[in-house]
Amino acid sequence: MHARELADAAWDAERTAWDQLAENRVPVVMWWEVRKAAKQAQEAFDRLVEEYWRDNGPA
């Protein structure tokens, strides 16, 4: 998987956990952990993009 796909998958998991939280099927702490992981994945992707553009510049 590429970094963008991982970040997207993390956000999909966060949305699924949110939906299940709304239906009282998961505890808040579980949703929070999934949300935290999704945020970390997005931040990692953003860092990769910044590094790429810093190292390679626009075409």
Count up the domains in the chain and report the number: 1
pLDDT at 22: 87
Total-model pTM? 0.68
pLDDT at 18: 86
State which residues form the domain around 36. Answer: 3-56
Q: Is 26 left (phi over 0), alpha (psi -120 to 50) or beta?
A: beta
Residue with tokens 């990692």: 44
Long-range contacts of the stretch 12-16 (C-beta < 8 A, 24+): 13/37, 13/38, 14/38
b/e map 29-52, b = 16+ CB within 10 Å? eebeebbeebeebbeebeeeeeee
pLDDT at 59: 59
Confidence class for position 1, pLDDT limits 50, 70, 90? low
Reading the block at residue 25, the tokens are 């099927």
pLDDT tens for residues 3-58?
Answer: 778 788 888 888 888 888 888 888 888 888 888 988 888 888 899 889 988 999 76
